[in-house]
Amino acid sequence: MSNQKPTTSDLALTVQDGKVTASSRDIAKKFGKQHRDVIRAIDLLDCSQEFKVRNFAQLKFTYRGQEFPYYEMTRDGFSFLCMGFTGAKAAIWKEAYIAAFNAMEAELLQQKIWIGGLTQALEQICPTPPREADTVRNQRGLNLLRAQAAYWAMLEEMPLAAAESAVCAVGRLRRLDDLDLSRHQFSEMSDFLERVIVHSNKDTQPATEEQINTIKCLVEACAQFRYSRDRDIYDLLQEEYGVSIETIVAASSGEAKRIAGIAYNMLHQHLVQTLTINEIKRRAQKADGKHCKSEEPPPQVDDGEEQS
């Protein structure tokens, strides 16, 4: 290494469980030690087990097909370990690590303050409703699954009982009415229904040009809204729904109808999102005393912009 003083960018600090940590691998490299010697030094530290558990987390890394241990340590763990490292070079790196810990912890604190303030502000504007009873939550989950299953059954022209039986098999329950969100795999059942609905292929005739143009009109309309203009709307469609331009062009007539349904749903979501964000901002301004026309109704939305 040159005689240039190391900076915080030279150190590979990370955040583990909300705490800034340093890796024993990076410490070994920076202090010019064998990693196995650093591991041995940590294992032989004369500290309480409670301190070690709180400040040293043993993990694994893979090298040439083999797994080896390493430690992620907190600032206190680093200080306890490295107080025994002596010499001019060690002093330089200890100072650099302390500066890096200080900088990263200050940044983390600012993030927590910002997020905490935002959370409190949103909670005042749009209070979270009280948690519902488990029976109510189970009923809501049941209603959603039953609606998805009914839509799938309609698309495939099959009995609703058959669709519900398939869902029950995925969720490992005897019948939908037995749904218990604390025991059954609700997300797996809902994801299964989303997939079979999207890929339902009852109508196998190629999509018409009019159907494809309808889908494109719906998708591109989403790009007119204020909060989606900076996104490639087709990338968004593929990321969120797994539907690419190639999928649209090669779709069957039945698939085109379902993709159009997805596109319309996305369009509706962007409209609702725009209205919701505008309303939250309006209420926040009003709460701050900056909204002069407090009795004015929410603005109408054409392409996502508030009207003057």
- Amino acid at site 183: R
Q: Is 249 part of a structural domain of the chain?
A: yes
- pLDDT given for residue 114 in this prediction: 81
Say yes or no: 257 and 165 in one domain. Answer: no
- pLDDT given for residue 9 in this prediction: 62
Tens-digit pLDDT profile for the chain (308 aa)? 445 676 666 677 888 888 899 999 999 999 999 999 999 999 999 899 999 999 999 999 888 888 999 999 999 999 999 888 888 888 888 888 988 899 888 888 888 888 777 777 777 776 777 888 889 888 888 888 888 888 888 878 889 899 999 999 998 899 999 999 888 888 898 889 888 887 776 677 888 888 888 888 888 888 777 777 777 888 888 888 888 888 888 888 878 888 888 888 888 888 888 888 877 777 776 666 544 443 444 444 444 444 33
Q: Which of these three, 176, 200, 224, is where a domain ends?
A: 200
Question: What does the pLDDT look like over 44-75, one tens digit per residue?
Answer: 998 999 999 999 999 998 888 889 999 999 99
Rounded to 5 degrees, what angle do the CA atoms 276, 280, 286 make? 145
CB 225, CB 270: distance < 8 Å: yes
Say yes or no: 222 and 187 in one domain. Answer: no
CB 224, CB 305: distance < 8 Å: no
- pLDDT given for residue 303 in this prediction: 43
Q: Is 3 part of a structural domain of the chain?
A: no
Q: Which domain holds residue 196?
A: 129-200
Say yes or no: 180 and 245 in one domain. Answer: no
Q: Is 306 part of a structural domain of the chain?
A: yes
Q: Is 182 part of a structural domain of the chain?
A: yes
Q: Whole-angstrom distance between the N-terminal and C-terminal Cα of the chain? A: 62
Say yes or no: 14 and 71 in one domain. Answer: yes
> What whole-number distance in Å separates Cα of residue 231 and Cα of residue 238?
12
Q: Which residues contact 38 (CB under 8 A, 6 or more apart)?
A: 24, 27, 28, 31, 81
Q: Is 165 buried (19+), middle (13-18) or exposed (0-12) by CB count in 10 A?
A: middle
Q: Is 65 part of a structural domain of the chain?
A: yes
**What is the helix (H) or strand (E) element at residue 37, kind and residue range?**
helix 35-43
Q: Residue 6 corresponds to which tokens in the numbers above? A: 């190391």
Say yes or no: 156 and 109 in one domain. Answer: no
Say yes or no: 88 and 188 in one domain. Answer: no
Total domains in the chain come to 3
Say yes or no: 228 and 280 in one domain. Answer: yes
Say yes or no: 193 and 217 in one domain. Answer: no
Say yes or no: 308 and 221 in one domain. Answer: yes
Q: Residue 141 corresponds to which tokens in the numbers above? A: 């989950």
Rounded to 5 degrees, what angle do the CA atoms 250, 254, 258 make? 90
In this structure, what is the dihedral angle of CA atoms 291, 294, 300, 304, given to the nearest 10 degrees?
Answer: 20
- pLDDT given for residue 41 in this prediction: 92
Say yes or no: 77 and 113 in one domain. Answer: yes
Say yes or no: 106 and 184 in one domain. Answer: no
Say yes or no: 229 and 249 in one domain. Answer: yes
Q: Is 1 part of a structural domain of the chain?
A: no
Q: Which of these three, 175, 200, 225, is where a domain ends?
A: 200
- Three-class secondary structure of residue 76 per DSSP: helix
Q: Is 173 part of a structural domain of the chain?
A: yes
**What is the Cα gyration radius of the chain?**
28
Q: Is 193 buried (19+), middle (13-18) or exposed (0-12) by CB count in 10 A?
A: buried
Q: Which of these three, 105, 123, 141, is where a domain ends?
A: 123
The strand pairing partners of 21, in sequence order, are: 14
Q: Is 308 part of a structural domain of the chain?
A: yes
